[in-house]
Amino acid sequence: MKIWLDGRLADKADARLSVFDHGTLYGDGVFEGIRVYSGKIFECQAHVERLFASAAKVRLTIPYTRQQIVEAMQQTLAANAMTDGYIRLVVTRGEGTLGLSPFKCPRGSVFVIADQIELYPREMYDRGMPVIVARTRRTSPTMLDPSVKSLNYLNNIMAKLEALDAGVGEAIMLNDRGEVSEATGDNIFIIKGGGVLTPPVSAGILQGVTRRVVMELCAAAGIDCREQTILPAELYAADECFLTGTAAEVIPVTKIDNRPIASGEVGPISRRLIKAFYEFIRR
Active-site positions read: 149
What phi, psi does 262 have (nearest 5°)?
50, -120
Name the β-bridge partners of 10.
3
Whether 96 contacts 104, CB under 8 Å: yes
Cα–Cα distance, 67 to 71 (Å, whole number): 6
Q: Is 195 exposed, middle or buried (0-12, 13-18, 19+ CB in 10 A)?
A: middle
User: CA angle, corner 219, sides to 281 and 207, nearest 5?
Assistant: 70
Cα–Cα distance, 207 to 226 (Å, whole number): 14
Whether 180 contacts 230, CB under 8 Å: yes
